Structure 1
Amino acid sequence: MNAESRSGADLLVTAAEIARSVGVTRAAVSGWRRRHADFPAPVGGGTRNVLFVLSEVHTWLDRHRRSDPGEVLLWQALRRTYGDDMTRGVAGIADLFVTGAAASLDDEIASQATALAAESSPSEVVAGLTARLAGSAVPEHVTGPRLIRAVKHFAGQAHGVVFDPACGIGSLLLALGDGCGVAGQELDPAAARLAGSRARLAGRGDVTIRTGDSLRADGWPELRAPLVVCDPPVNAPDWGREDLLLDARWELGVPTRAEGELAWLQHCYAHVAPAGRAILVMPPAVAHREAGRHIRAELVRRGLLTQLVALPPGMAAKHDQPVHLWLLARPASPDDAVSSVRMVDLTANDPDGPLTPTPGQVVDVPLVELLDETVDLTPARHVAASRSDRLAQYASLREDLAHRLHELLTLLPPLTAGPGTLDAARMSIEDQRLYGAAFRALDEFERQVKELADLGEQAASMARDGLTSGAIRPQ
């Protein structure tokens, strides 16, 4: 049933019908649902074709200005002209408002944009188009609002210069750099132009965005910032390894072709000032992939990684998979290096819920415990291990040891004086049976003594670790 055939205040519509009425793609509606906690909740339908109350959707659209017919017409004109390259179209409109020149726009689009800005403001027009850009195409260089909120939460208050070497259209950088100097670099020229224009339209004269490949051609070689943030490109087929093998930035080791994320991590760390911090968005696989084990080990060994946070699914604009936040710090002196890494597991949380972990979601892991054969830094693994009941485990082991010790006494056969040297040929069948049983009992006793030694070593190790961590205490 279509929306047109329904009546009443509680008309129900599908996502496809919402998209048609507003003039956007169905993917745009899915993006709004994923990134905006206040988008109306579905009230019916199946998993593939959910239904929404039309009046609630209209209220939400009005609140977010997505039902503005002028904005819809402008967006449709941009789509007809630029197709999938909508970043370039929105950047052209932002350039028009900043410079007054419409060289990259046709006259119809420039006229529509100017008329729409007269009704509100240039910055509101660009903000609306940027929101549509993030909600429809979801390009690689757009960081969604949920992820921005998480980065802001764990980065804390920024002071001095904030730097983002893969800033995209500038959403993360501008959100973190409020009241600070801002520097960024972006490979895509249109995205870099849009980031710079958004800053100027917001009255930010302290923002400088440079264009270029940050890994191959660092546009800020001398910059050392108190805070570096980055949502780097992932799964890049070629991050430039062959051209950068001897680069000084790889102080933790040269990443493999498959570990481009660890190249971005080291690039960001190279730009961190003494006593400064970096916070990066990473795929979960970076925490445990075999190819990155040596770099992870060096990062931990030097005490540079301070915290690793596993965020809930649905935080990223590009996909619904979980992501991690890696927090690094450059010690002002060797004595400032950390002795443990804080592991936070928020994967079970609502993506729009609180970001402060409960006591059961966080654990401080000593560096030495992370430096095993795998150097697996997955937070869930360490948080789960910290929640184990060491006291109950130790009590169970102790009881098992006592039981096994009692059993050992019964395994030793009772022996009496014998005739001396045995003559097996003259032994009776009964004597052969008795001697055979005694030797088998001694073999079993010896075997169980060895098992008991292993069990005792396990109990002692568990008790020692529990006492050291404070999980258990002596009676």
Structure 2
Amino acid sequence: MSKPVSTVSAAEISRLAGVTRATVSNWRRRHADFPKSIGGSEARPQFDLHEVQKWLAEHGNEASASAVSELRSLVRARSTPDTVARLLQALRRGESGWTAPGFEAGLGDEVTQLLDRAVAEAGARTAIDILGERALEETAATGVYITPAWLADLMAALATASGPEAEAEVESVRAVLDPACGSGSLLLAAARTGATQLAGQDALPVQVQRARLLIEAETALEPDMRTGDSLTADAFPDLRADAVVCNPPYGQRDWGASELAFDPRWDYGLPPRGEPELAWVQHALAHLRPGGTAAVLLPPAVATRPSGRKIRANLVRTGALRAVIGLAPGSAQPWHVGLQIWLLRRPRPAAPVADSMLFVDTTGVPATGDGENSAVTDTVLRAWRAFDGPDPDTPIESGVAAGIRLVDVLTEEVDLTPAGYVRSALDSGTVSDQVGEAIRSLSGAATDLTSAADDMRGWSAGSGVSWRYVTIADLANHGQLELIRSILPGAESAVSAGRAPADEPDLGLAPDLNPGAPQRRMLTAPDIAAGVPASGTATVSVAATSVEVRAGDVLIPAVRSDRTGGRSARVADTEDAGAIRGPHIHTLRVDPDRLDPWFLAGFLTGAENISATRTSTVRFDPSRLRIPVLGLAEQQRYGELFRQLFTLRTAARRATEAAEQVAELVTTGLTAGALAPEDAEDGR
């Protein structure tokens, strides 16, 4: 019996060869020796991977030896979801690499060899997710989401930050539980904070194995991972952890309300059938040692639903609920909902109940963009550490966080939405100062915009010429520029300026959680769009393997710059030089004797290129973009105008943002009572 082959689609061939899909279609039409399809459908044909690689090599287009692509093709062509699920259970990480003891030879050997290469190439998360996603293809379960790495790091930092009452008893948080562990993001984040005993449970066996493999690959720990529904079949009934982190399933209809009516975990009230999230909250509390902390990610409806009012009141009244942190929509799936982090602490017997709790509203904190939320992380940790420190009366950032007395929270509704409490606690003097500073910033931005508009000159009516175009791939092949593609965040950097989107690997320990690590400046994708200096940082050890920005580099964010599909590009100047390139950024390094960088940046963001790269996904292939063929002197004339336009757009964006900030501050101050109109009679 012949050995099954690994297959690739036309789209995967284009990625292997670094060309467009249209080029692959042309190859199929024009070259009689191009490999014939061996499966799939007429619209989505499949090809023999090894035959494609051989053909590309023979025609001078060596395919990149992508272990990730080969691994994906192998498990799709030669296994079923059930086979991969059994393989996940058999896989072990040893000193010499991956093995699969007891699994059938052949497929197991090939997968483990490719897995070693794929982990080295793209990181453990990407490699293991290829197997996990294949194993889940026939699973009916929904809501299998990966907690974004930045958010997992934030939740782990909150849960493992020992307050003053815990310092006398434990030196650090060691044991951490995630009762709905999914693929292990939260437990891995806890390990990065120093936790050494990790326990996790999930209803899906595939997710349990994914989490185990990821943690074993990224750490030296051996987690205790178990399968089962934590609410109806608790695998750790006697565990009392130092911390619990959890992103539970939302809106479960059949979570066991009837059979669990007399469960001892419900210290704060029997969760109604429509309040499964409050069952998870109490499950987390039940697994904490006295003084231990839990961070649970919840939908905002849990804070307001009438059916959960009594349980919310009991959580507040006893001091078990210490903080509610509101996040902006887009922080995690489901993306359209502004989720909340509830921080809970198991009360100590006979200890006095705290008289206040913390509310944080981060919806007004500007995200660093592109899934990068270091500003939110810093704001939340700063507020929590101030509130949970030795002096809980330490001033907390007005307009973002507020410590509220429990008696003021225990209203008829017990509404725990952070925004209302934060607005009610606005300090009038602080708001007035903020408005004054915002108006000064607006005035400066308006001056810059006027100056940029006055400087716009140097064009005349065109003759309507028709240009010949060349692609970035062609320019790279002829040595006129070097295309340095965006690298997966996990392979490129651990940044304080942000975290990767949910479908990408973790970025590693952020510097704010590792304050002793030496730092280097990092230029982020939002910095490019906003025209500002490098705002991020990278650890020196990671920066050593990253791309260093050079003056004259053309930098393009790897994702859309706005909702319309528009893109931004920027030419690095001497101030940018020496910074480390952040994640999600493509770099075009030009030969200045043959290409003008601003000419290149301008045409790459033109309407034709935007239209050509607007797809259903946010990412794009820069090699497909086109520019006209012009002499260097003509390029420089165009480049100067494009540079002026970049300055104008940057100034306009800053002026708009400054105006929006003034309007938002004044509106908030007036509606919250922190500001009042002047009295015309006395001139106030």
Residue 70 of structure 1 corresponds to 67
Worse-superposed segment, 184-193 or 79-88 = 79-88
Letter in 2 for 1:342: L
Report matched runs for 1:134-283 at 5 Å. 140=144, 142-157=146-161, 159-177=173-191, 178-202=194-218, 204-283=220-299
Instruction: Compute the displacement of 1:161 (Å).
Output: 0.6
Structure 2 residue 378 is matched with structure 1 residue 356: yes
TM-score normalised by L of structure 2: 0.44
Structure 1 spans left out of the alignment, 5+ residues: 1-15, 24-66, 393-465, 467-475
Residue 101 of structure 1 corresponds to 100
**Alpha-carbon distance in 1 for matches of 2:336, 2:111:** 33
Which whole-Å deviations, capped at 9, do the CAs of 1:355-402 have from their partners, x for residues lacking one? Answer: 23343200111111111111100001211222275999xxxxxxxxxx
**Alpha-carbon distance in 2 for matches of 1:101, 1:213:** 27
**Alpha-carbon distance in 2 for matches of 1:103, 1:122:** 25
> Is the contact between residue 313 and residue 321 of structure 1 (CA under 8 Å) also seen in structure 2?
yes
> Is the contact between residue 302 and residue 337 of structure 1 (CA under 8 Å) also seen in structure 2?
yes
**Alpha-carbon distance in 2 for matches of 1:80, 1:318:** 32
Letter in 2 for 1:150: L
Q: Cα gap change, 1:133/1:382 in structure 2, threshold over 3 Å: closer, same or farther?
A: farther
**Alpha-carbon distance in 2 for matches of 1:323, 1:242:** 28
The 3-state SS of whatever aligns with 1:140 is coil
> Is the contact between residue 185 and residue 211 of structure 1 (CA under 8 Å) also seen in structure 2?
yes
Instruction: Compute the displacement of 1:105 (Å).
Output: 6.8
**Alpha-carbon distance in 1 for matches of 2:342, 2:419:** 14
Letter in 2 for 1:113: V
Q: Cα gap change, 1:179/1:244 in structure 2, threshold over 3 Å: closer, same or farther?
A: closer
Q: Cα gap change, 1:133/1:302 in structure 2, threshold over 3 Å: closer, same or farther?
A: farther
Residue 15 of structure 2 corresponds to 21
Residue 425 of structure 2 corresponds to 386
**Alpha-carbon distance in 1 for matches of 2:333, 2:190:** 18
Residue 300 of structure 2 corresponds to 284
Residue 437 of structure 1 corresponds to none
**Alpha-carbon distance in 2 for matches of 1:85, 1:382:** 50
> Is the contact between residue 200 and residue 224 of structure 2 (CA under 8 Å) also seen in structure 1?
yes
Residue 430 of structure 1 corresponds to none
Letter in 1 for 2:176: V
Structure 2 spans left out of the alignment, 5+ residues: 1-9, 18-63, 137-141, 162-171, 380-396, 432-672, 674-684
TM-score normalised by L of structure 1: 0.62
Residue 300 of structure 1 corresponds to 316
Residue 31 of structure 1 corresponds to none
Q: Cα gap change, 1:319/1:20 in structure 2, threshold over 3 Å: closer, same or farther?
A: farther
Worse-superposed segment, 280-289 or 77-86 = 77-86
**Alpha-carbon distance in 2 for matches of 1:142, 1:179:** 20
Instruction: Compute the displacement of 1:298 (Å).
Output: 0.7
The 3-state SS of whatever aligns with 2:351 is helix
Q: Cα gap change, 1:96/1:227 in structure 2, threshold over 3 Å: closer, same or farther?
A: closer
> Is the contact between residue 299 and residue 305 of structure 1 (CA under 8 Å) also seen in structure 2?
yes
**Alpha-carbon distance in 2 for matches of 1:134, 1:237:** 26
Q: Cα gap change, 1:278/1:310 in structure 2, threshold over 3 Å: closer, same or farther?
A: same
**Alpha-carbon distance in 1 for matches of 2:83, 2:427:** 51
> Is the contact between residue 91 and residue 101 of structure 2 (CA under 8 Å) also seen in structure 1?
no
**Alpha-carbon distance in 1 for matches of 2:148, 2:65:** 22
Which whole-Å deviations, capped at 9, do the CAs of 1:170-220 have from their partners, x for residues lacking one? Answer: 221122034421112121112112222333334534421122111111111
The 3-state SS of whatever aligns with 1:376 is coil
| Percent identity over paired residues | 33
Residue 88 of structure 2 corresponds to 91
Q: Cα gap change, 1:82/1:380 in structure 2, threshold over 3 Å: closer, same or farther?
A: farther
Cα RMSD between the aligned structures? 3.6
**Alpha-carbon distance in 2 for matches of 1:280, 1:192:** 19
**How many equivalent residue pairs?**
334
**Alpha-carbon distance in 1 for matches of 2:16, 2:300:** 36
> Is the contact between residue 82 and residue 89 of structure 1 (CA under 8 Å) also seen in structure 2?
no
> Is the contact between residue 399 and residue 426 of structure 2 (CA under 8 Å) also seen in structure 1?
yes
> Is the contact between residue 119 and residue 126 of structure 2 (CA under 8 Å) also seen in structure 1?
no
Residue 431 of structure 1 corresponds to none
Residue 128 of structure 1 corresponds to 126
> Is the contact between residue 342 and residue 364 of structure 1 (CA under 8 Å) also seen in structure 2?
yes
Residue 54 of structure 2 corresponds to none
Instruction: Compute the displacement of 1:146 (Å).
Output: 2.9
Which whole-Å deviations, capped at 9, do the CAs of 1:62-91 have from their partners, x for residues lacking one? Answer: xxxxx8622112113334566788983883
The 3-state SS of whatever aligns with 1:242 is coil
Q: Cα gap change, 1:119/1:164 in structure 2, threshold over 3 Å: closer, same or farther?
A: closer
Q: Cα gap change, 1:71/1:123 in structure 2, threshold over 3 Å: closer, same or farther?
A: closer
Between Structure 1 and Structure 2, the one with more helix by share is 1
> Is the contact between residue 298 and residue 340 of structure 2 (CA under 8 Å) also seen in structure 1?
yes
> Is the contact between residue 226 and residue 235 of structure 2 (CA under 8 Å) also seen in structure 1?
yes
> Is the contact between residue 310 and residue 324 of structure 1 (CA under 8 Å) also seen in structure 2?
yes
**Alpha-carbon distance in 2 for matches of 1:86, 1:168:** 20
Which whole-Å deviations, capped at 9, do the CAs of 1:227-266 have from their partners, x for residues lacking one? Answer: 1111111111211111100001111111111110100000
> Is the contact between residue 91 and residue 191 of structure 1 (CA under 8 Å) also seen in structure 2?
no
Q: Cα gap change, 1:282/1:82 in structure 2, threshold over 3 Å: closer, same or farther?
A: farther
> Is the contact between residue 82 and residue 88 of structure 1 (CA under 8 Å) also seen in structure 2?
no
Instruction: Compute the displacement of 1:347 (Å).
Output: 1.7
Letter in 2 for 1:334: A
> Is the contact between residue 146 and residue 315 of structure 1 (CA under 8 Å) also seen in structure 2?
no
Residue 389 of structure 2 corresponds to none
Q: Cα gap change, 1:101/1:116 in structure 2, threshold over 3 Å: closer, same or farther?
A: closer
Q: Cα gap change, 1:19/1:261 in structure 2, threshold over 3 Å: closer, same or farther?
A: farther
Q: Cα gap change, 1:118/1:225 in structure 2, threshold over 3 Å: closer, same or farther?
A: closer
